[in-house]
Structure 1
Amino acid sequence: MLSNIAFYGALETGLIYGLVAFGIYLSFRVLDFPDLTVDGSFPLGAAVAAMLIIAGWNPWLATGAAILAGMAAGAVTALLNVKLKILNLLASILTMIALYSINLRIMGRPNVALLMEDTVLTPWYNLGLEYHQVSVLLFTLVIGATLFLLWRFMKSEIGLAMRATGANARMARAQGIATGGMIILGVAVSNGLVGLAGALFAQSQGAADVTMGVGVIVIGLASLIGGEAVITPTSVFRALLACVVGAIIYRLAIAFALNADVLGLKAQDLNLITAVLVTLAIVLPGARVSLMNKFKRRKA
């Protein structure tokens, strides 16, 4: 069984990775744009927020700057693809590699501590809640507001144009939609959400590290695919909700696996657990449909 601290810690991290899953949903599902920039924009958001907080900025303003930095990184990837005609996957890899050096430049060293600094969480500690419950409450509000805003955006005229671009770019262009602009905007917003996640993660963990983005794309995909296996994404709202649910389930599954003594798993097995969970999330829905079809044929 999980302790209270481990349970709330899994919820906290799951909510943060829900923002990453939102970003990956926009790029992978809406735009059909495989984007690995997130492995660089996650620590970019953390680095920008951390350095601005240390410089005396208001934590919320620093977090807003992290979102803009993430959007700029995403826009660079999209511009490489749209304007220079570089393959989208390769463009994202180039940006991701460049961001490693940029993040080191921003921080001036591999990691920066925030343990003695005020963060977005600091005022919430006066509510009388347990220390580990504060971040869960705040991040729930943040992800709820983000989900609502994304849902409204995807139902707007621009959002519909973006969805049309991902579904059929040639048809969208025939309808007068500037598909290049939609790709740039969509990938920028996607990485802005990842930058927000990185900023919140750094403030909740008390540090920003240049390597903290390694594997974020896999975690986001695991959350997205796992959530879609639980909640069928028949609408935009359900798809966004699936991102959050998938991220929380993923982190709880990781926490249970690492805390179950009978399994004998340790922290170094995290990537193995992730690979198994993603495989199950991909295979199980198809296996379930296959079994249901066999059952129907037998009844017939």
Structure 2
Amino acid sequence: MIGAVELGLIYAVMALGVYLTFRILNFPDLTVDGSFTTGAATAAILITAGTHPALATLAGGVAGLAAGVITGLLHTKGGINPLLAGILTQIGLYSVNLRIMGGANVPLLREDTLLTPLRDNGLLGGAVSIAIFGALALVVKVVLDWFLHTDTGLALQATGDNEEMIRSFGVNTDRTKILGLALSNGLVGLAGALIAQYQGFADISMGIGLIIAGLASVILGQAVFGSRVILISTLAVVLGSILYRVTIQVALQAGLDPNDMKLISAVLVVVALVLPKWGVFRRVSALRSLRRTAATSSTTGGA
């Protein structure tokens, strides 16, 4: 179970990237499946070539960022549908990733990585590793919170909410979309680089279906923990990533076939999307809204 929490915290970096496009930019980006592997492949091949693991990890993030820029350019400058633009980049990245790795798999078991000190000292799978991965996820969350409250971040939010309106104020929405997609896939590539070092290899198939895991983390987290403001939303995404991985682990321990993991992920997303629309959950949500309204009114009246 501790391993599931560790994975949940690392994958939270990827989930925050998905949140940036899915919730903030309102862009259905399927580049994720390819850019995750690109980040992992770039980091793995650089580490085997003798590059310092920290630089290799950052290079993985930059590679993911470049993938996001390509999707953004296809959509904004090429006029391609957002969904199709992501699919095209994802398909192209499959061949690119094979070229980067020179094959379907790059082992890292005998290489020094960022996690080698933890592994050598027996700290993986314990409180220390959870604290470190938790700190990493928290740093990414705080930086993302800060960015979304800057002028550029507010323009990014406005582009997702009402593109025509923000364009009327002179904002270049094409540039904003490219930036959002770049940052999102940069986080995804960074997560891929970390996961490759965590599991000891990079594989061409490691990103297949990953967008479902990202969406499950975002939707499940916000359904359970709320999504009223940015600070809460990003925290909900991190917690949702942990909840998703723990749920998967529980399902596997209960005897489900590992081959059914993608099906379990899809079911989790469906449940997270459907439950809030059921009567009892709508009433709970309405009650919460009434309480917030009453609290606001009493505060205003007291002032």
Partner residue in 2 for 1:234: 228
Contact conserved, 2:123 with 2:129, CA < 8 A, in 1?
no
Compared with structure 1, are the counterparts of its residues 135 and 49 closer, same or farther at alpha carbon in structure 2 (3 Å cutoff)? farther
Equivalent residue for 2:249? 255
Residues 196-207 of structure 1: pairs in structure 2 closer than 5 A: 196-207=190-201
Aligned partner of 2:276 in structure 1 is 285
Q: Which runs of 5+ in 1 are unaligned?
A: 1-6, 296-300
Match of 1:213 among 160, 185, 207: 207
Of residues 85, 89, 93, the one that matches 1:91 is 85
- Deviation for aligned residue 1:35: 0.3
Mapped to 2, the partners of 1:131 and 1:35 lie a distance apart of 33
Kept in 2, the 8 Å contact 1:121–1:135? The answer is: no
Distance in 2 (CA, whole Å) between partners of 1:292 and 1:88 is 35
C-alpha separation in 2, matches of 1:75 and 1:131: 35
Q: Does 2:143 match 1:130?
A: no
| Alpha-carbon contact 1:135-1:204 (below 8 Å) kept | no
Task: Give distance in 2, aligned partners of 1:212 and 1:73.
Answer: 17
AA aligned to 1:11 is V
- Which one is further off, 110-119 or 273-282? 273-282
Note the residue ranges of structure 2 that are not aligned, 5 or more in a row. 288-303
- Contact 1:219–1:274 (Cα < 8 Å) also in 2: yes
The separation in 2 between residues aligned to 1:198 and 1:282, in whole angstroms, is 26
The one-letter amino acid of 2:90's match is M
Deviations 1:11-43 (A, max 9, x none): 111112211211111111111111000000000
Q: Which moved more, 1:274-283 or 1:83-92?
A: 274-283
Contact 1:46 1:199 in 2 (8 A): yes
* Partner in structure 2 of residue 184 of structure 1: 178
1:276 maps to amino acid: V
Deviates more, 1:171-180 or 1:99-108: 171-180
For residue 225 of structure 1, report the CA deviation from its aligned partner: 0.4
RMSD: 1.8
Identical positions, percent: 52
Give CA deviations for 1:159-197 in whole Å, capped at 9, x if unaligned: 011111111111111111111110000000000000011
- Return the alpha-carbon distance in structure 1 between the equivalents of residues 47 and 259 of structure 2: 32
Matched, 1:144 2:135: no
Kindly provide the CA deviation profile for residues 217-260 of structure 1, in whole angstroms up to 9, marking residues without a partner as x. Answer: 00000110000111111111111111111110011011111112
Letter in 1 for 2:8: G
Deviations 1:97-116 (A, max 9, x none): 00000000000000000001
Q: Distance in 1 between matches of 2:104 and 2:85?
A: 25
The Cα offsets for residues 141-174 of structure 1, whole Å up to 9 and x where unpaired, read as 2111101100000011110111111111111111
Cα-to-partner distance string for 1:18-74 (whole Å, 9 max, x where unaligned): 112111111111111110000000000000000000111110100111111000000
SS at match of 2:106: strand
Kindly indicate whether the alpha-carbon contact (under 8 Å) linking 1:121 and 1:138 is maintained by their aligned counterparts in 2.
no
2:15 aligned with 1:21, yes or no? yes
**CA distance in 1: counterparts of 2:186 and 2:46, whole angstroms:** 17
Counterpart of 1:132 in 2: which secondary structure? coil
> Quick check: 2:40–2:189 contact (8 Å CA) kept in 1?
yes
Letter in 2 for 1:270: M
Say if 2:256 is the partner of 1:265: yes
One-letter amino acid of the structure 1 residue matched with residue 14 of structure 2: V
1:154 equivalent in alignment to 2:174? no
TM-score norm. by structure 1 comes to 0.91
**In the alignment, is residue 274 of structure 1 matched against residue 265 of structure 2?**
yes
One-letter identity of the residue aligned with 1:131: L
Question: In structure 2, the residue corresponding to 1:112 is in which secondary structure?
Answer: strand
Report how far residue 291 of structure 1 moved.
4.6
Q: How many residues align?
A: 286
1:289 deviates by: 3.3
* TM-score between the two structures when normalised by the length of structure 2: 0.90
Q: Give yes or no for contact 1:76–1:95 (8 Å, CA) kept in 2.
A: yes
Residues of 1 paired with 2:286 and 2:106: CA distance? 56
Secondary structure of the residue aligned to 1:191 is helix
Q: Per the alignment, do residues 68 and 284 of structure 1 end up closer, same or farther by CA in structure 2, a change over 3 Å counting? A: same
Alignment of 1:97-116 (within 5 A): 97-116=91-110
| TM superposition shift of 1:278 | 1.3
How far apart, in 2, do the equivalents of 1:195 and 1:259 lie?
A: 29
Residues of 1 paired with 2:107 and 2:286: CA distance?
57
